Structure 1
């Protein structure tokens, strides 16, 4: 171990105070880990799904009998992660329900090998239906993962617990988990991404409901999210707004999706021209719109850049040369929330950030988030937040 559990927790709490949020990166290679650390990641998850992603296979391969998950993680972790000069914590993705290991002995071995913590992955929480029921009859259950987190906590390992519902979150908090991470399903996006996903609004409600329970039991527990529809910075901001979510863990978004797009596009450019302009190529990839998801992504980026100005769906439909009704329906379908409510939600959360960080006249705050007059801003603020901007500001000052 490079750092004691108490040191890791103290460092993460320091990051939360400084940067407000923390970031974990799931990886299957030393290359990704190296540059994730350079980019500011706070810890690394060594997961077998990451290993398979590097082989060009879906993350689901971690659940199939291609290889032993624990052996895979131990092998690439020992060869590619631990020998490197990686200073941030490295967390071992433990397949706790493996019937061929003595759980306590294996976790002790993980610690002796130099890993800083454990995470319950692959997790039975992703398996339901008849197959899930069949596994339960064989004693392959989520409770075994809870026991792993309990043992890890007892012997001083940093523990990151994936959960899928409130009941599992309660079990993991009581087991001593340092991080409760709501797993929102396999990440969408790219060639190998999952197709069936929750809307962002549904994902946000699920995470909020689970974290409310966690906060009641243990207010200090670190609350993070993983996977599902959250695969862009603007998605993460949407999840953070109005919640006490402390951070985000990503795998495919840092490892698979960038590689899929960039390798394919750079290869094509070498095929067609001898003059490679990387900046222009990257911009083309970012701004190119070829799918319905791209349309929604553009709208959200536009709001992020122009929320201080007058914005309407009519204006956006003109810019994108699409019908307003089509965009409205598509936005609601993809996001689980209407365009109007999303814009209000975004503006009010920016206003809250300003109120928390600066002492400014409320009329100016209203203008800074796109409301030319204070009265409509105050009205919508009270309706959505529950108190007026003035009362909210007073509550901040008296805390």
Structure 2
């Protein structure tokens, strides 16, 4: 069994080597097995993962379909822990379960072989009148804080899902080793969330909460959970703009890949020798849809940010008007095309200056600015520093 100390040592080594920490939500043995083979640093055994494997949405773990704690204890002890010896597994603990003694149950979790706990299902994802009714019945977020505190005192590793600054502060005081900002259910795929915040809104929320976390405990590991971020490019945007150090994926690592792989494989057998012509779903998926436009632009910027990029040219390439493309991009991403492009270039420049490998003027050219005055103006607008001041401050703090 992994100890809290050696888990922290391994994760801090990843941080020090400039690697991002990856956590995978698992609900079956096969998901756990291949997540570990893929390099996941942590596995989170959550009832949401089990329900996704049953074809349901993640919120099924909040309904009366079964006891979440019993479900995870069964899956963990039979499917996950026996086959995994190289990756720590955290137990998704529903702390408001009225049929357990919290202290004794956490001891049982530890005896079973789990390396720690995570507060899930969490009341932080419930609001409105239903949340009020739950709290009137004695189901509160305070119980989740207590669970994290008890596990910490038992020297278990702890990961806390939070949705705001106040919850993050409370969980830090309870001893949480990881603060994970839960950004909501994952977008994408057939069962994905239809309503979600934009990636830029996620950046703003993450930036605010993680600054508070660092001020309270500089050593705490800061991660986000999914929501609008379901691609490496989305996470690059978050990493560049905030103090985020890692990503936890649920649907990103199980449901969405499974949906795509099974659909494509079955269709390839069904329509063998005439695959593209006959399969009706292929015609749908090969055509653009509104959300594809934003991904197209983001990937184009990633590959061509050194060059001149004009929204009108991109619009022509996919046969839509510039105004329409601009509106769709802002709706999906949360900021304008020009804001996204400038922030992407400024973040790339920050990386170059942080490593001290180029001069300020060279950094400007390397991120697509031929006019240094304009570059300096944009750099200061988005960072609060001139390029030279940023480079000097970074060198001092190394």
- Does the Cα contact within 8 Å between 1:313 and 1:324 map onto a contact in 2? yes
- The two structures have a TM-score, normalised by structure 1, of 0.95
Q: Secondary structure at the match of 2:241?
A: coil
Distance between the aligned counterparts of 2:298 and 2:71, measured in 1? 39
How much has 1:276 moved relative to structure 2?
A: 8.4
Gapped regions of structure 2 (runs ≥ 5): none
Structure 1 unmatched ranges of 5 or more: none
The number of equivalent residue pairs is 392
Give the 5 Å matches for 1:1-399.
2-274=1-273, 288-399=286-397
Supply the distance in 1 between the matched residues of 2:158 and 2:274 (Cα, whole angstroms).
49
C-alpha deviations, 1:256-285, integer Å up to 9, x for none? 0011112112111111115889xxx9xx99
Compute the RMSD of aligned alpha carbons.
1.7
CA distance in 1, matches of 2:380, 2:163: 33
Alpha-carbon contact 2:222-2:246 (below 8 Å) kept = yes
Q: Distance in 1 between matches of 2:287 and 2:196?
A: 20
Residue 146 of structure 1 and its aligned partner are, at CA, apart by 0.4
**How has the CA–CA distance of structure 1 residues 353 and 247 changed in structure 2, closer, same or farther, with 3 Å as cutoff?**
same
**Would the aligned equivalents of 1:93 and 1:122 in 2 still touch at CA under 8 Å?**
yes
CA drift at 1:246: 1.0
Shift of 1:289: 4.6
The alpha carbon displacement at 1:312 in A equals 0.8
Question: Does 187-196 or 267-276 show the bigger shift?
Answer: 267-276
Preserved CA contact (<8 Å) 1:366 1:374: yes
- The SS at the match of 1:241 is helix
Contact 1:37-1:86 at 8 Å conserved across structures: no
Deviations 1:28-64 (A, max 9, x none): 1121222212222111000000001111111111011
Q: Secondary structure in 2 aligned to 1:348?
A: helix
**Structure 1: how far apart are the matches of 2:150 and 2:288?**
48
Residues 210 and 242, structure 2, Cα contact 8 Å, conserved in 1: no
SS of equivalent to 1:56? coil
Deviation digits for residues 219-247 of structure 1, max 9, x if unmatched?
11111100211111111111112211111
CA contact (8 A) 1:26 1:50 kept: yes
The answer on whether the counterparts of 2:353 and 2:359 sit within 8 Å (CA) in structure 1 is no
Give the 3-state SS of the residue equivalent to 1:159 in structure 2.
Answer: strand
Q: Structure 1 residue 381: deviation in Å? A: 1.1
How far apart are the structure 2 equivalents of 1:382 and 1:330? 28
Where 2:17 maps in the other structure, the secondary structure is helix
Contact 1:289 1:295 in 2 (8 A): no
1:19 partner SS:
coil
Shift of 1:314: 0.7
Are the counterparts in 2 of residues 34 and 86 from structure 1 also a CA contact under 8 Å? no
Q: Deviations over 1:70-128 (max 9, x none)?
A: 11111111111111134111010001111000000000000000000100000111111
For 2:257 and 2:124, the matched residues in 1 are separated by 27
